[in-house]
């Protein structure tokens, strides 16, 4: 399995196009190797564990008013995905004894109904793995997966009082498409361009992904 540096080196592996056997390994800033792979129904209990391990603040920022304990319906929604219109990529690291793997992050997008080229996206990273580059490698693969499925625009749901992120998005050309909702968020659309996008745009997308909430629409 090939290794690639997380942020500066171009990804040399094929983008995730739906193959359940797809795996890539990426190296984080501190040298830790993470394996990125599709989320499957078998990840249900690991996702439950990861959800419960999030701080209350992280749960709120990522899931809004879902609650402190995930319902069985929510766990099914998050793990039984078609990897076409609802794509979920997980990041895992091996335990010290190399016998088990631990989920440390998930990136997903959900194509909007009636808008074939636009998708909501969100990235969730375990609290103890923040600022180590997990969100960066997940976002890069999520963008590649989105492009091969014809996604051209990501919709970011950000908290209305997150003035810093809203200003960054607006300077990057993001368009506000929905006024403040009853859940205290504002939606922005941002074109993702192609893989030759400028690093500054990638940084904006990374920053947005780290603050996006995912509204669980049916």
**The pTM is what?**
0.80
Residue 5 pLDDT grade (very low, low, confident, very high; cuts 50, 70, 90): very low
- Domains of the chain plus CATH, in order, are 3-151 (3.40.630.30)
The pLDDT tens digits for 61-117 are 566 555 667 889 989 989 999 999 999 999 999 866 656 788 899 999 999 988 899
CB atoms within 10 A of CB 23: 13
Residues 6+ apart with CB under 8 A from 187: 155, 156, 157, 176, 177, 178, 181
Cα separation, 218 vs 212, whole angstroms: 18
The pLDDT tens digits for 176-186 are 886 655 567 78
Cα 103 from chain centroid (whole Å): 13
Asked if residues 116 and 151 have their Cβ atoms less than 8 Å apart, the reply is: no
């Amino acid at each position: 399995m090939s290794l690639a540096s997380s942020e500066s080196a171009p990804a040399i592996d094929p983008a995730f196009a739906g193959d359940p056997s797809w795996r890539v390994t990426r190296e984080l800033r501190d040298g830790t190797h993470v394996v990125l792979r599709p989320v499957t129904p078998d990840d249900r209990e690991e996702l439950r564990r990861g959800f419960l391990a999030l701080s209350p603040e992280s749960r709120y920022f990522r899931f809004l008013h879902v609650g402190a304990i995930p319902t069985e319906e929510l766990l099914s929604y998050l793990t039984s995905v078609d990897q076409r219109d609802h794509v979920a990529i997980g990041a895992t690291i091996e335990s010290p004894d190399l016998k088990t793997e631990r989920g440390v992050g998930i990136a997903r997008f959900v194509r909007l109904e009636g808008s074939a080229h636009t998708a909501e996206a969100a990235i969730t990273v375990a609290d103890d793995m923040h600022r180590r580059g997990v969100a960066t490698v997940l976002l890069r693969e999520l963008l590649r997966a989105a492009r091969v499925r014809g996604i051209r625009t990501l919709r970011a749901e950000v908290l209305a009082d997150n003035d810093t992120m809203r200003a960054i998005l607006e300077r990057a050309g993001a368009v506000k498409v929905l006024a403040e909702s009853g859940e205290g968020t504002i939606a922005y659309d941002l074109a993702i361009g192609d893989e030759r996008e400028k690093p500054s745009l990638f940084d904006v997308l990374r920053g947005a992904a780290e603050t996006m909430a995912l509204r669980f629409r049916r």
